[in-house]
Structure 1
Amino acid sequence: MAEGPLLVSACLAGVPCRYDATARPEPGLLAHVCAGHLIPVCPEMLGGLPCPRPAAEIVEGDGHAVLEGRSRVVDANGRDVTEPFLDGARCCLEIARRYGARGAIFKEGSPSCGYHRLHQGGRIVAGCGVTTALLRRHGIQVVPEAVGLAG
């Protein structure tokens, strides 16, 4: 993984910011946050979505399709939440630039942070989330928590 601080999905750092207002804390991660090695981010909340909030999915394709305007992000109530997802992704990119983060450890399966799997229409499909796609386009290495925490 890249040198310097890394972005990390805030839910992995123990922040209850997931759509259902829970966290997915990983043991030992908080010490790295406190030491300044990890910068917690929640793209969905940075984009202005509340917590809790309805679950959301990328309708078709993945984060790259959303960035290119070929797909949308829609929540469980049918509301189009594409703009907050894009806003949150841009906020994460700005934070990475401001603090010199060259990598990120993100929560797999998320429509924002997913690395190579997403939930779509009640099944798991291949693809990355919106924030992951944007960061990758700007040369920021993203890995899922299983890889990032092992290395």
Structure 2
Amino acid sequence: MKKKILVSACLLGHKVRYDNGNVTCNDPRFLKWSEEGRFVYICPEVAGGLPTPRPDSQIRGKRVVTGAGDDVTKEYEKGAQAALKLAKDNNVALAIMKQDSPSCGSLYVYDGTFTDTKKLGEGRAVALLRQNGIKVFGEDQLDDVEKELKKINIL
């Protein structure tokens, strides 16, 4: 089976973000990989049972909470498990996930204060993917993705 790339659904234009907004990735390489059928996609939050739109959530300590303080950790963990299952079921070589997200952030996440402050860290789905040996990149790291695809000989 040909190796695939797991991608955050919002980067493909799917209306799954918490604010129902659009963050489509328009990098020519990303678009080419999509056209070649290399992608399998997921929104871990939606897969975990959260609606679109939904309250903004951030990681605070070991929990994921909304701005109103509601604990949505269970839904984020369920979504992370769904992302891992999809990756395993589809022979995924690596993942490109939405930076800063409490599920998909690969370098940074918001700090839990809801003040628009970021900190080094990773989202719940990214952490689980990495714990299971899957390399994860943000949409702002496509140069690194391209190098990795060449390195593992699937570009």
1:33–1:40 contact (8 Å) kept in structure 2: no
Distance in 1 (alpha carbons) for counterparts of 2:143 and 2:47: 24
Task: From the CA coordinates, give the structure whose radius of gyration is larger.
Answer: 2
Distance in 1 (alpha carbons) for counterparts of 2:71 and 2:34: 33
Letter in 2 for 1:115: S
- Please provide the CA RMSD for this pair: 1.6
1:14–1:30 contact (8 Å) kept in structure 2: no
Deviates more, 1:85-94 or 1:113-122: 113-122
Distance in 2 (alpha carbons) for counterparts of 1:18 and 1:10: 9
Structure 1 spans left out of the alignment, 5+ residues: 61-70
Go from structure 1 to structure 2 and tell me whether the alpha carbon gap of 1:39 and 1:149 turns closer, same or farther (over 3 Å shift): farther
Task: Tell me if 1:8 matches 2:7.
Answer: yes
Distance in 2 (alpha carbons) for counterparts of 1:32 and 1:16: 20
Q: Deviations over 1:9-61 (max 9, x none)?
A: 1111111111001120012445533532011110000000000000000012x
Distance in 2 (alpha carbons) for counterparts of 1:77 and 1:34: 40
Deviates more, 1:25-34 or 1:45-54: 25-34
Q: How many residues align structurally?
A: 139
Of residues 82, 103, 110, the one that matches 1:112 is 103
The residue number in structure 2 matching 1:131 is 125
Of residues 82, 86, 101, the one that matches 1:95 is 86
Deviates more, 1:114-123 or 1:136-145: 114-123
What SS class does the counterpart of residue 41 from structure 2 fall into? strand
Q: Deviations over 1:103-126 (max 9, x none)?
A: 100111000000111112121111
Letter in 2 for 1:108: Q
Distance in 2 (alpha carbons) for counterparts of 1:23 and 1:104: 20
Structure 2 spans left out of the alignment, 5+ residues: 147-155
The residue number in structure 2 matching 1:18 is 17
Task: Tell me if 1:145 matches 2:144.
Answer: no
Query: TM-score, with normalisation over the residues of structure 1?
Result: 0.86
Matches within 5 A, 1:43-82: 43-60=44-61, 71-82=62-73
What SS class does the counterpart of residue 139 from structure 1 fall into? coil
Letter in 2 for 1:24: V
What SS class does the counterpart of residue 102 from structure 1 fall into? strand
Query: TM-score, with normalisation over the residues of structure 2?
Result: 0.84
